[in-house]
Amino acid sequence: MLLTKLEGPGVWRSEELGPQENWCQRLTDTEIQEVVAAARHCESRDIPLFEITKDDFPLAALAERFQRIQQELEGGRGFTVLRGLDPASLGAESCKRVIWGLAQYLGTPEPQDRTGSLLHSVTNTGKTIASSDTARGYETDDELKFHNDGGDVFMLLCLRTAKEGGISKLVSAAALFNAILEERPDLAAVLQQPFYFDSRAQNLNENNVQVVPIFTEHLGYLNVLYKRRYIVTAQRFPDIPRLTPQQTEALDIFDRLCADPALQLAFSMQPGDIQIGNNYSILHSRTKYVDYDEPELRRHLYRLWLTLENSRPLPEVFATTREFGPSYARRQQRASA
């Protein structure tokens, strides 16, 4: 049980990040030309998207920047934003090659659902969490409360923004833990005990829930796994223990402090932005958005989940989770190789 204050570069509040150029990196003209040329190279050779390797997507100037990004994701503040690409001139299919090719310089893409999909389109499909037992937040225009995705990191490439709303927000999990610990150390302890999450099971052979703490300390690393919406929807299963008053209080303080402007970084993504964040140390959210009527203008992002090459050790409790199970298995493969 971790009950001491955390320190280090991953412990940040929004006011401590400074001006936007500290965390939003603008690509140079040379780097942009490299990315476009690499995507066109893959297209001209007709290489299937998921077979594109680092060798197929050659980068000279940008490769060094991605080495620094790796260190920023694991060991630094835990996130970055890259800016400067023009998705309209690239086209949607080339943008898929861009996010996949750049990802090869960070790690290994992992499945994002039960079918093994490696690339997701983040856009409003008309579904809602309330109307479907398997719908997930990225398929809706709903507000997404603070949560984390799967894999070591999430990687988003923005093709188009919404007509209104859809603002991105980030919070340092370590800074959040410190704030909870300072105000209510008893609830910091509760959040390190098991909670039941709706697994959004997509076939009858799967478990309806996964049981994991919200905060887990392992070998000197604090890890977070949080989706309150799925904690709440797990309560629809009659055999799941009811949330205790203390657990509900712990969830309430977690949400309240995440919403504190002093803790959160809020910004609007632009077309071409690439947002990358460490899922164990960063929580992210998105405000509700209003879309355009025309389908070709609607908000659209591509998303990958990755296992980093310089990844931290993970606790065994993550082994069977949808979010972190594949990355845990990847570590086991590396260890036995």
Long-range contacts of 122-125, Cβ-Cβ distance < 8 Å, separation of 24 or more: 122/156, 122/300, 122/301, 122/302, 122/303, 123/298, 123/299, 123/300, 123/301, 124/289, 124/291, 124/298, 124/299
Element (H, E) at 197: strand 194-198
| pLDDT tens series, the chain, 337 aa | 999 999 999 999 999 999 999 999 999 999 999 999 999 999 999 999 999 999 999 999 899 999 999 999 999 999 999 999 999 999 999 999 999 999 999 999 999 988 899 999 998 777 665 665 555 677 777 788 999 999 999 999 999 999 999 999 999 999 999 999 999 999 999 999 999 999 876 555 578 899 999 999 999 999 999 999 999 999 999 999 999 999 999 999 999 999 999 999 999 999 999 999 999 999 999 999 899 989 899 999 999 999 998 999 999 999 999 899 999 999 999 888 7
- Measure the CA–CA gap between 94 and 272, rounded to whole angstroms: 12
Cβ atoms within 10 Å, residue 60:
9
Sequence-distant (≥ 6) Cβ neighbours of residue 145 within 8 angstroms: 228, 229, 255, 258, 285
Q: List beta partners, residue 177.
A: none
Q: Using the structure block, give the residue that is written with the tokens 């989940």.
A: 305
